[in-house]
Amino acid sequence: MQEFGFDNSKGLEIGIYTLGDHLPNPNDGSRVSAKERVQEFIRYAQAAEQAGLDYFGLGESHQEYFASQAHAVILGAIAQATSTMRIGSSSTIISTSDPVRVYENFSTLDLISDGRIELVAGRASRVGLFELLGYDLRDYEELYEEKLELLLQINREESVTWSGQFRAPLNDAEVIPRPTEDRLRIWRAVGGAPGSAVQAGLAGVPMVMAHLGGTTSIFSRTVDAYRQAAEHAGYDAATLPIATAGFFHVAETSQKALQNTYRHINEGMMRINGQGMPKQLFAQNVDPASIANMGSAQEVIEKLLHQYEVFGHQRYIGQIDFGGMPFAEVMKQIDVLGEEILPAIRKYTGEPAPAQQSQESDGQEENN
């Protein structure tokens, strides 16, 4: 995975992300100001870096109850407030953006961050931005595929000649600045359905597989479809990173984890999508077979290790902040990740240090 900057010796990377929502706390109706909310995003990233996490992502949305419409601007502030952790989008809505401007923005962010920026190209699960930004929702799929294709071409080529349906042609266009290294790390967001994963595999693009729930075994089909498509297209699937992204919450017990999060997630989804999360369905998130990493610390560690065994992926990013979750609770979750979850995951998924390998080898020789 060196082409994409992954250190296999670390094992499974652990990060966090926020969608950038700006929702009231359903328990008391309180809501911080937009200014405070943006500052919270920056402080989450700083805390994540201090906790030793590998990645912080911020989403983009253009509707009521969000504060991250200009997510690239906020990521610029985060780049200045951090120094080692990789940062980027949890989803940049490429469908309703000009790929040239997106590339210019993220290349500049890469220079500001000294090569730490990443970009996750998403479709938009909340579609109000199509009308707001002047696009036809009926072109949903075509817009995404065409614009992602152009973004990837810009990433590969310093001089771009291109033509398509939704944008003026480019003729030997030089898109600058260029990033710190040869290319940006660009991922394709996949909602879990195999069809989008196949498209990612055929293009040889790293995949971020997001999920609201379901079993690990079901999502293994999406991972298999991605790798099979990549091999079919002539890529070495073993060199293409996969990340998973979904709900994370640790509490003393699994029932406490559900109690802490259900009302936030249900009422948040009701306000944003007009449809909440059925309580019985949400309760399945603490089942050992569930891909949602919710429960006690030990239960979550066991889930993550099982997912790593099934998927063989390179990164997990947890959504720990949604639906007016109090700032103090989010910071507590970051502490738990750094103090309890991350050390266990690295212990069991990372390669032993050379000295440790030597000691193990010597011990085996003595036993023989």
pLDDT in tens, 175-211: 999 999 989 999 999 986 788 999 999 999 999 999 9
Q: Return the pLDDT at 3.
A: 55
pLDDT at residue 368 tops 90: no
pTM above 0.85, yes or no: yes
Q: What is the CATH number of the domain that holds 13?
A: 3.20.20.30
Which residues are CB-contacts of 147 (< 8 A; sequence separation ≥ 6)?
94, 95, 97, 99, 166, 167
> Can you give the residue range of the structural domain that contains 30?
7-367
Q: Of 347, 244, 293, which Cα lies nearest the Cα of 11? A: 347
What residue type is assigned to position 218 of the chain?
A: I
Assess if residue 158 is contained within a domain: yes
Are the C-beta atoms of residues 364 and 25 closer than 8 Å to each other?
no
Lowest mean pLDDT among 4-8, 11-15, 229-233, 234-238: 4-8
**255's tokens:** 């029932």
Select the more confidently predicted residue: 358 or 92: 92
Does residue 333 sit within a domain? yes
DSSP string, 20-88: -B----TTT-----HHHHHHHHHHHHHHHHHTT-SEEEEE---STTBS-TTHHHHHHHHHHH-SSSEEE
**Per the domain annotation, does 2 fall within a domain?**
no
pLDDT at 193: 75
- Examine residue 152 and state whether it is found in any structural domain, yes or no: yes
Whether 87 is in a domain gets the answer yes
Total of domains in the chain: 1
pLDDT of residue 367: 47
Whether 361 is in a domain gets the answer: yes
What count of residues does the chain have?
368
- Answer whether residue 353 shows pLDDT above 90: no
State the pLDDT confidence band at 356, using cuts at 50, 70 and 90: very low
